[in-house]
Chains A and B, each alone.
Chain A
Amino acid sequence: MTAYVARRLLQLLPVLLFVSAIVFFVFRVIPGDAAVARLGESADPESVARLRRVMGLDRPVYVQYLLWLGHAVRADLGESQINRQGVFSLVIEKFPATLELAVIGIGLSMLISVPVGVFSALRRGSWPDHVTRLGAMIGFCVPRYWLAVLLILFFAVHWRVLPPAGYVSLSESLVANLRFATLPALSVALTLAAVQMRFLRSSLLEIIAQDYIRTAHAKGLAHRVVVLHHALKNALIPFITVAGLEFGNLLGGLVVVEQIFSWPGVGWLMVQSIIHRDYAVVQGAVLLIATGFVTINLLVDVAYAALDPRIRYA
């Protein structure tokens, strides 16, 4: 296991290096001179040249990349052009809000998908199975942002039971925080649950067809016991992996949800920074989101290997 983790960690390095290179060079494409942009069009050529030297813009591109990378690994990603705050702390500050929404959303989605998925597999071919599968197909195709708008329409505009948008931090008030989190988390949970439920149902059905399940039946165990104790345990391993991958994907998937509900997470910050052309923040946010994404996927792989020894030796 230790060797496996070490190998995976080593594989992470070139990926992160590649990610940083993409992030650096994508933002080099921006038209115009960064020094001119900072000083303004009317700046005299001499001070532009001086700033270019200070910023390292007169050096070859690969040197600039290495310099930037050197700063980046020391958590120095430059500063926001709007409020001069350090980009790293600006982005990290927003992570807890995004993380909270992702955790609540995933947790809620599992509370829905596991019982529904098991029920649907147990009653394969019955009409409740067909209804839940149709529901899952619709849930799979509903754009999350549309679902969010529908939730606002019903819960905030019509029934006025929940706020349409906004945020109160956890430390301020737990109750208020959860009230604001309910609709965004629901819009995440319902769409994720659709995918999870279909996945769990099909892997359960696949496992139920296997020999050891037949053996369990032959021993005279009740169908329910066989499914819940023998089949579900094995079906949950890939299911947890999928949920873990979804968790990583939410780093991107939450962008629109955060925007709709004015939820001040990393995605929200990124959209605001793009609108205000605050490129340093956008670049830093992309780098940190990608790093988080790659790291979460690695953790999921390791967890998968820990749960299922077959993976380690594959």
Chain B
Amino acid sequence: MKALLALIRDRAALAGALLFGVVLASAILAPRLAPYDPLAVRVSERLQLPSAQHPFGTDEIGRDVLSRIIFGARSSLGVGVIAVGIAATLGTALGLLAGYYGGFPGTMIMRGVDGLLAFPAIILAMALIATLGPSLVNAAIAIGIVFIPSFARLAQASALSLKEREYVEAARASGATDGYVLARVLLPNHLSPLLVQISVSFANAILTEAALSFLGLGVLPPTPSWGGMLDTGRKYLDQTPWYSVASGGAIMVAVLGLNLLGDGLRDVLDPRLRGQRSAGDAVLRAGELTARS
């Protein structure tokens, strides 16, 4: 509660929450908010400039661009949720196990994780999609796998420092099993850095999904996706620039919102890092630079 209040007082974080809130509301309320059916083709109205009827104009087969952007939030957030879900679950589990048990199994887990870091993120995601085939779910799985290392490293570091604490020793002395210590003692104490990492990774997942869809390797048409629209729209820059510009703007709004929110969360949840607020530095610290695309 105190954290929530602090977050509301932080103007940048509040702005971030508002921006991301708009994106989230678009995704949830898309059928109510969108003025048109995002798939309805009206060839006679193709490539129109912005007007009262179509605030961002229409696309190459007469679909309303605004409606497609609103529905596109579903693709982006959907991929983000699945990808971060996979990465956070597997990465945190692997990292906690590696940190808690250490020794040979711990080393092996972390070496495997480092192996994944030997690829530029988008290249590994593309390789996975080349074999799985392009689709929304496969893009989400690929991004999820690529993002595992950042979560695993964070969790391993947490587990390494937490397991020396007295309360962990106390739990073990009173007969707690390893499973209990991992799930009920280590995990709850790891939640703060985990939350920050989730918000940063979510922004990166949206960026990566848009890049993959832009390349035709993510969400497939006719399902609206910001990256796909940015790609198609750029072919009509001389006729209706808003088509592409607005699609890219949507990506920017979502990413900016999540980054501001992540910065604010870090300040509130992790007082040690206070004063170092800056998404750029945070990203560098987390070794997340590879995830940028």
A-to-B contact residues, CB < 8 Å: 14-16, 18-19, 22-23, 26-27, 29-30, 136-138, 140-146, 149-150, 152-153, 157, 164, 194-195, 198-199, 202, 242, 245-246, 248-249, 251-253, 255-256, 259-260, 270-271, 274-275, 279, 282-283, 286, 289-290, 293-294
How far is A298 from B23 in the complex, measured between Cα atoms in Å? 40
* B141–chain A nearest beta-carbon distance, Å: 12
Give every chain A residue within 8 A of B278 (Cβ-Cβ): 198, 202
- Contacts A146-B251, A252-B290, A286-B127; A260 near B281 (Cβ below 8 A): no
Decide if B118 touches A194 in the complex (CB within 8 Å): no
Decide if A145 touches B211 in the complex (CB within 8 Å): yes
How far is A260 from B210 in the complex, measured between Cα atoms in Å? 14
A-contact 0/1 string along B269-280, CB 8 Å cutoff: 000000010111
Decide if A15 touches B123 in the complex (CB within 8 Å): no
Give every chain A residue within 8 A of B292 (Cβ-Cβ): 249, 253
- Contacts A29-B131, A282-B127; A153 near B237 (Cβ below 8 A): yes
Tell me the dominant secondary structure on chain B's binding face.
helix
What total of A-B pairs shows CB separation below 8 Å? 160
| B-side interface size class | 35 or more
Q: Does B167 contact A (CB under 8 A)?
A: no
How far is A30 from B111 in the complex, measured between Cα atoms in Å? 26
Give every chain B residue within 8 A of A30 (Cβ-Cβ): 131
* B109–chain A nearest beta-carbon distance, Å: 13
How far is A297 from B59 in the complex, measured between Cα atoms in Å? 43
Decide if B279 touches A140 in the complex (CB within 8 Å): yes
B-to-A contact residues, CB < 8 Å: 111-112, 114-116, 118-124, 126-132, 207, 210-211, 214-217, 227, 230, 233-234, 237-238, 241, 244-245, 248-249, 251-252, 255-256, 259, 276, 278-281, 283-284, 289-290, 292-293
Give every chain A residue within 8 A of B127 (Cβ-Cβ): 23, 26-27, 282-283, 286
Tell me the dominant secondary structure on chain A's binding face.
helix
Decide if A256 touches B123 in the complex (CB within 8 Å): no
Decide if A252 touches B123 in the complex (CB within 8 Å): yes
How far is A26 from B132 in the complex, measured between Cα atoms in Å? 9
